[in-house]
Chain A
Amino acid sequence: MNTASASHRYHGFAIALHWVLALGLVGLFFMGHYMADLPFSPQRLKLYNWHKWAGVTILGLSAIRLTWRLVHRPPALPQAVTLGMPSWQMQAYHATHIAMYALFFAVPLLGWAYSSAAGFPIVLFGVLPLPDFVAASKPLAEMIKPWHALSANGLAALVVLHVAAAVKHQMVDRDGLMDRMRPGRP
């Protein structure tokens, strides 16, 4: 095992969380846009509830992920990468990650608040009633609703930027940055 390359990689747990949440977030994003346009039907009701359960799960996993991230320092960027990055890229790199982490929490919390305000408390997996942290109120629900969508679209835009940057490192710079997050053995 090459210790030098291993130390440049994220921890296996962080890699697993990254990819699980990546799939979850992308799936929920399209699900949310799809279900919002459905007519009143059992199908719509089902998708809404699944969306909420998955959203709360993502919120929980994001909390674990943030805790892990704060406790375990991620590997430093390889020198080959940092040398090739102008300072604006370095700033954009940090800002994008901070904003994505903020939205990992903001998007599901806004969805939860919307559900509570709309008078539909979340019952996780149909069995565990979650507390309402805002009161049931039609005007409040109408006020929150666009923010859940806007924040989700904002997160989607950052994800596109994040993927584009990763692809650029892989295909243009060919600096092997993506190996740090690649699942599987180093």
Chain B
Amino acid sequence: MNAFHTTARATAWALLTTLGAGAALADQRLLPAQSEISFVSKQMGVPVEGSFKKFDAQIAFDPAKPQTGKIAFTIDIASITLGSPEPDAELPKAPWFNTAKFPQATFQSNSIKGLGGGKFEVLGKLTIKGNTQDAAIPVTLVQTGANTTASGVLTIKRLAFKIGENEWADTSMVADDVQVKFKLALSGVSKF
């Protein structure tokens, strides 16, 4: 036990000192309580809004050197809600998200491009329901006090991820395009 602690501490210390300037990045965290991920899908032309309540991110990002940054994002799909019990009971089922088999959606960045003015483009792989697609996510960073807010809108094609199968694949009922909106509060991102 003691030996473990000592080793762990030594390792952590070694990591911190090795990383040097990188130590500042080790502290970057997503603040879930101040963050939100919502989406809008269209049912026969009617916009229907939903959201995910549980998600997390691992971030190592320096706005001054975006190309060296890395972002890994996970969403707990079972935390999805459209705000009413009926669809909420259906969405975890196999035709929609099959959360029993695919409990999480993930995004893993490959590269981050700075576009200037606090805008970035994050390229990476988005995996939902076991299907992986390339995604280019536009992100705008805004400094809010000690924290940083990253926000953006991304339109995905639900059928590319097999969200809504069989009778629900009909895009005249539920449109293929789903708009995903995110607003993420991050701590520890250096000012820019």
Binding site for B on A (CB under 8 A): 40-42, 45-46, 49, 118-123, 126-127, 129, 138
Query: How distant is B51 from chain A, measured CB to nearest CB, in Å?
Result: 12
Query: How distant is B143 from chain A, measured CB to nearest CB, in Å?
Result: 32
* 16 contacts across the A-B interface (CB closer than 8 A): A40-B86, A40-B87, A42-B168, A42-B170, A42-B173, A46-B44, A49-B43, A49-B44, A119-B49, A119-B83, A120-B48, A121-B46, A122-B46, A123-B46, A129-B45, A138-B84
For B167, the chain A residues whose CB sits under 8 A away are 41-42
> Which of the residues B44, B47, B89 comes within 8 Å of A45, measured between beta carbons?
B44
Give A123's nearest chain B residue, CB to CB. Answer: B45
Contact at B46–A138, with CB atoms within 8 Å? no
Q: How far is the CA of A102 from the CA of B110 in the complex (A)?
A: 63
Judged by a CB distance under 8 angstroms, whether B27 is at the interface is no
Query: How distant is B38 from chain A, measured CB to nearest CB, in Å?
Result: 13
For B134, the chain A residues whose CB sits under 8 A away are none
Give B170's nearest chain A residue, CB to CB. Answer: A42
Contact at A138–B83, with CB atoms within 8 Å? yes
If A40-B90, A119-B49 touch, does A45 touch B43 (CB 8 Å cutoff)? Answer: yes
Query: How distant is B96 from chain A, measured CB to nearest CB, in Å?
Result: 11
Which 4 pairs between the two chains have the least Cβ-Cβ distance?
A: A126-B45, A123-B45, A49-B44, A42-B173
Q: How far is the CA of A129 from the CA of B49 in the complex (A)?
A: 15
Contact at B46–A120, with CB atoms within 8 Å? yes
If A40-B86, A40-B90, A45-B173 touch, does A121 touch B47 (CB 8 Å cutoff)? Answer: yes
Query: How distant is A83 from chain B, measured CB to nearest CB, in Å?
Result: 54
Give me 6 other A-B pairs in contact (C-beta within 8 A), A49-B43, A119-B48 excluded.
A40-B87, A42-B168, A42-B170, A45-B43, A118-B84, A123-B46
